[in-house]
Amino acid sequence: MRNPPKDGGLQAHGGPMFPRGTALLATPLLNKGTAFSETEREVLGLRGLLPPRVFSLQEQAKRVMGNFRRKSDPLEKYIFLSALQNRNETLFYKIVEEHIEETVPIIYTPTVGQACLEYGANFAQPRGLFISIRDRGHIAEVMSNWPHTDVRMIVVTDGERILGLGDLGALGMGIPVGKLSLYTACAGVHPYYCLPITLDVGTDNLSLHDDEFYIGLKQKRVRGAEYDDFIAEFVAAVKAHYPKALLQWEDFGNTNAFRLLGEYQDKLASFNDDIQGTAAVALAGVIASLRITGARLRDQKLLFLGAGEASTGIASLFVTAACAEGLSVAEARSRCWFVDSNGLLVRNRPGKLPHHKEPFAHDHPYLPTLSEALEAVRPTALIGASGVPRTFTREIIARMGELNERPVIFALSNPTSKAECTAEDAYTGTGGRAIFASGSPFPPVTLNGRTHVPGQGNNVYIFPGVGLGVLAAESRQVTDSMFLTAARTLASLVSAEDIAVGRLYPAFNKIRSVSLTIATAVAEEAYATGLAQRERPANVEADIAARMFVPHYRDLV
């Protein structure tokens, strides 16, 4: 990964170094708004197009934050920041980086869920590429319309399983846009390298077919061979146009997510954040919880509510980690139990099990409910990734507290409205003994004079650092062992102060340094395993740090 061209990759062949006048003001990577100097205004044809006073970046940021904070509705804040990003990316990332705890819940979870639901009604300016099934046979041509020629980071969705909200079709574009914003804000991946893509193959959400503002194809989802051929053509176009790109599969339905990951994981640098990123951040939380319980990882027994991409991904990575502690694969899998919409996952349950569930189906009498499974399994950790809110009832939480001195309870479903329980539910239901983490943020809870600070087990702790490390080493693949390395590294960064207040993840305002440490560990693994296509620098961490994007204005003349 090198620094992008000084002109942001926007220099036309044989043309001027930069766009001029209104064209320059309409180029988000180069636009500085009122911060253009007197000389720049004169040379670049901006005189008269801007008010006469020149402002600094810091002065602009102060004005933006004042306007941002005057908006009380999170969705209005999201729209405000999106407009800023489409106008002036440097200023956007300046305020996100300096106010990361305040802005990330707006540009991503939990607000991004509502933003996706209303993406069509609020659509103002396109960002990224929309590639539809109607573009079959011409995907490479569509991809060539993107103005940047050296894309390194692609996040792609087909919109079938957006957070816990289900099939949103083309409205899911808010997710790739948001994830790439986090790559830049949290790990310093230059926005020039980033490309969000939505693959529109239709939607089975019939309410969108009747929505007058829906921006996608109003047809049922394409599936089967036609879908697979479409994806194959898309991947071929990515490899041809952007051979050094890392491809992140995002929010695909269970039917396709595991299949696509298995098909393409070894063919290009790619991963599925819903499966592997979620697994790593959850496993990091479990590892960190051992510092509170004093137990060993190999002795944990996990009960999952939900058996989709997130839950089975967590279990698979747990198995890898437990095997490293001496368990066999069979023994490690026996520590993982699942309750899905059809009850306890057991081998003799009627109906054919999906491929990703088969390894975790145990020989045990069938039980229809979570409460019955809880009694039978007696887990040390209860992990929710079901997308069904408030399913960790008062009785379930209380029973976890009876079974364990320090019960581990993770409510990982996003957005907040889909969480299996709240932080307050977990703490009050166990007399403050719960070790709690969630997918969306919850405020601290004070109980019996003690303040508990819930950790947010959000994938943002994992995927930006993993992606940065892969790009820095130019790794040919993204391996499962890289995610195990990322999980262990993240857990090691939880401080004694974090543990003292019950938080299983580092303070979010440290996310840039967390991402750098994870990136370094991942890059080192790529070098050690021979996957890196770039020669190892003398100091990997210093090399990566020097390449991280810092939002400041550059002189254009």
Catalytic sites, residue numbers: 108, 179
Report the amino acid identity of residue 73.
D
Are 80 and 68 within 8 A, CB to CB? yes
Antiparallel, parallel or unpaired: β 336-340 and 302-305: parallel
Sheet with 270-272, strands from edge to edge, namely 129-132, 194-200, 153-157, 246-249, 270-272
Judging by beta carbons within 10 Å of its beta carbon (0-12, 13-18, 19+), is residue 221 exposed, middle or buried? Answer: buried
Cα separation, 220 vs 124, in Å, equals: 25
Single out the residue of 53, 42, 37, 52 nearest to residue 20, CA to CA: 42
Neighbouring residues of 12: CB distance < 8 A, sequence distance ≥ 6: none
Cα separation, 140 vs 240, in Å, equals: 8
Are 277 and 462 within 8 A, CB to CB? yes
Cα separation, 284 vs 492, in Å, equals: 9
> Which stretches of 422-537 are DSSP H helices?
423-429, 463-473, 480-492, 496-500, 511-528
Please identify which residue in the block is written with the tokens 């694969």.
329
**Virtual CA dihedral for 383, 409, 292, 286, nearest 10 degrees?**
20
Single out the residue of 211, 198, 219 nearest to residue 118, CA to CA: 211
Are 345 and 386 within 8 A, CB to CB? no
Cα separation, 557 vs 547, in Å, equals: 23
Are 87 and 139 within 8 A, CB to CB? no
Sign of dihedral through CA atoms 348, 353, 355, 361?
Answer: negative
Q: 83-105 in b/e burial notation, b at 16+ Cβ within 10 A? A: ebbbbbbbbbbbbbbebbeebbb
